Structure 1
Amino acid sequence: MPIPQLTLYRRDRRSRALITLAGEIDLTTERVVRESLGQCLRDGIRTIDVDLTAVTFCDVTGLNAFLDASRATAVAGGSLRLHHSPPALARIIALTGSSILLHGNLPPRPSPQPLTPGAPSRGLTRAPRMIPATGN
């Protein structure tokens, strides 16, 4: 079984850093992510953008690393934002409701449909009446 690989590039501009990751983020590589994001804070970086375009896989250990770094960055008065999350990570972020912490904004909500007179209501309706089954 091949060992997952993760490549990390960091580019700084004053108090802002762009971290570009490529490869897989899982139990064997998440420490690299944690260390690099922690080093940004130790170096005085307060705005961290993480480009995940070339990440092929990221599991919940990667998500935890990003959430911990986001919290530490916020405590230091900064922000951490993920960009171009791979589908599996985007799904985990949506399921856990952590988009506001990692993307800086809420996912778009569908706009409510206006009610028009005479149109059927799409709101709350009466629950169907339960009829007990009879055994034969």
Structure 2
Amino acid sequence: MPLPPLTIYRHDRRKRALITPAGEIDLDTVPLVRASLERCLRDGIRTIDVDLTLVTLCDCSGLNAFLHASQRITAAGGTLRLHHPPRTLALMLDIAGCEFLFLGVPFGQLSPPPGYAPVTTAPVPPHRSAPPVPPVPVLSGGAV
């Protein structure tokens, strides 16, 4: 028996919920995402974390659903945060200027996405640079 294209799990902790979709978020499955987020609002949840670790695909319909939900949740005095988005969704969020939907780890207990390895970098050696440029005052009343 094949797996459904999208399964959504929900874990509540007081007025906070962790939503964990597993599978693909696309035009066919996005109504499940919308319904899940709307149900949280109806249940009085005002802080919603969405762990996207198990999402294999999220197209622009998923992005639209998250943006719409973010507006509704914010209007209700809450917050929506996305965690561990698939690369394509992260790129779409970056291009659309929607990085505000990202936050650290919800509940302090999510594991990193599969295959995640912390990036380590060598210390950057000090270098000599030009003296800092003083800030330019902002002009009001139109473009310069």
TM-score, with length taken from structure 2? 0.70
d(CA) in 2 for partners of 1:33 and 1:68? 11
Structure 1 residue matching 2:53: 3-state secondary structure: strand
Question: 1:4·1:24 contact (CA, 8 Å) conserved in 2?
Answer: no
Which residues of structure 1 form unaligned runs of 5+? 106-112, 118-136
Could you say which residue in structure 2 is the equivalent of 1:122?
none
d(CA) in 1 for partners of 2:83 and 2:33? 15
Report how many aligned residue pairs link the two structures. Answer: 108
Matches within 5 A, 1:1-136: 5-100=5-100, 102-103=101-102, 115-116=129-130
1:36 partner letter: S
Structure 2 residue matching 1:44: 3-state secondary structure: coil
Q: CA RMSD in A?
A: 2.2
Deviation at 1:104, TM superposition (A): 5.2
1:116 partner letter: A
Question: 1:4·1:29 contact (CA, 8 Å) conserved in 2?
Answer: no
1:103 partner letter: F
Structure 2 residue matching 1:48: 3-state secondary structure: strand
2:84 partner letter: H
d(CA) in 2 for partners of 1:114 and 1:42? 57
Deviation at 1:103, TM superposition (A): 1.4
Which residues of structure 2 form unaligned runs of 5+? 105-126, 132-144
Deviation at 1:53, TM superposition (A): 0.1
Q: Runs of 4+ in structure 1 displaced over 3 angstroms?
A: none
Structure 2 residue matching 1:53: 3-state secondary structure: coil
Identical-residue share of aligned pairs (%): 60
Question: 1:4·1:28 contact (CA, 8 Å) conserved in 2?
Answer: no
Deviation at 1:32, TM superposition (A): 0.2
Deviation track 1:92-122 (CA, whole Å, cap 9, x = no partner) reads 001111111x1159xxxxxxx98426xxxxx
